Chain A
Amino acid sequence: AQKITQTQPGMFVQEKEAVTLDCTYDTSDPSYGLFWYKQPSSGEMIFLIYQGSYDQQNATEGRYSLNFQKARKSANLVISASQLGDSAMYFCAMRDNTGGFKTIFGAGTRLFVKA
């Protein structure tokens, strides 16, 4: 069965420093995709980064990178040079073909960036 776990309810980071948000997953499907979304207080879901299970390299998008460790089933998000505007809720998500190619979400991590 699909499962996404985020064990950090809240994280603090100093402005301009890097922060890692943890995510582990479980699936029996060898083909899957992993996503990270940002949800600011306005409520919109902002897509940040995607990693496919067969991708050889870790995904990067600007200040965001995904530390993909397939054997450990982890897909941690690294935000470099944190900015005050990074304060938000962050969700890890996974999609596979189990039960119809749907995406499930982890519980989320609330990130606070301190000035």
Chain B
Amino acid sequence: SAVISQKPSRDICQRGTSLTIQCQVDSQVTMMFWYRQQPGQSLTLIATANQGSEATYESGFVIDKFPISRPNLTFSTLTVSNMSPEDSSIYLCSGSGPNSYEQYFGPGTRLTVT
């Protein structure tokens, strides 16, 4: 199994600023994903992080707001840009292994925008 870490674990930010969240996997994973979980809600997929190329975004999410990088197979970053209070959520990084039944999650980054 893979162990996923995220930094920071939580942050309080002012509106209009940006925050970059880092995700590190302890072993190579085939795919990496970023999810958002708003308070009391389910997980919503933001994008699939593609190694060495632009991320694939889901409907309602755009690169200008959520730029994502994945320079190698074990590391990815998500930036939440020009933040507003509506961006207050938990952001989770996820990695999928070579077998279809493997999908692991990081502990999440709890973001509060004031």
Contact digits for B94-114, partner A, Cβ 8 Å, 1 yes 0 no: 101000110111011010000
A-B contact count (CB 8 A): 45
Q: Which of A33, A43, A107 has a CB less than 8 Å from the CB of B100? A: A33
Q: Which residue of B lies closest to A53 (CB)?
A: B100
Bound state CA distance, A44 and B96, in angstroms?
A: 16
Residues in chain A within 8 A of chain B (CB atoms): 33, 35, 37, 43-45, 47, 50, 52, 91, 95, 100-108
Contacts A52-B101, A91-B42 supplied; 10 other A-B pairs, CB < 8 Å: A35-B103, A44-B105, A47-B103, A50-B101, A52-B100, A95-B103, A100-B48, A103-B33, A103-B96, A105-B44
Residues in chain B within 8 A of chain A (CB atoms): 31, 33, 41-45, 48, 56, 90, 92, 94, 96, 100-101, 103-105, 107-108, 110
Contacts of B107 in A (CB 8 A): 43-44
Bound state CA distance, A103 and B102, in angstroms?
A: 11
Q: Which of A47, A101, A106 has a CB less than 8 Å from the CB of B42? A: A106
Main secondary structure, interface of B, reads strand
Contacts of A47 in B (CB 8 A): 103-104
Contacts of B108 in A (CB 8 A): 43-45
Q: Which residue of A lies closest to B43 (CB)?
A: A105
Bound state CA distance, A6 and B25, in angstroms?
A: 30
Bound state CA distance, A56 and B82, in angstroms?
A: 49
Bound state CA distance, A101 and B102, in angstroms?
A: 12
Q: Which of B48, B90, B104 has a CB less than 8 Å from the CB of A43? A: B90
Q: Which of B44, B94, B96, B105 has a CB less than 8 Å from the CB of A101? A: B96
- Say how far A111's CB is from chain B's closest CB, in angstroms: 15
Q: Which of A33, A91, A95 has a CB less than 8 Å from the CB of B43? A: A91
Q: Which of B33, B42, B48, B101 has a CB less than 8 Å from the CB of A108? A: B42
- Say how far A33's CB is from chain B's closest CB, in angstroms: 5
Most buried by B among A35, A100, A106: A100
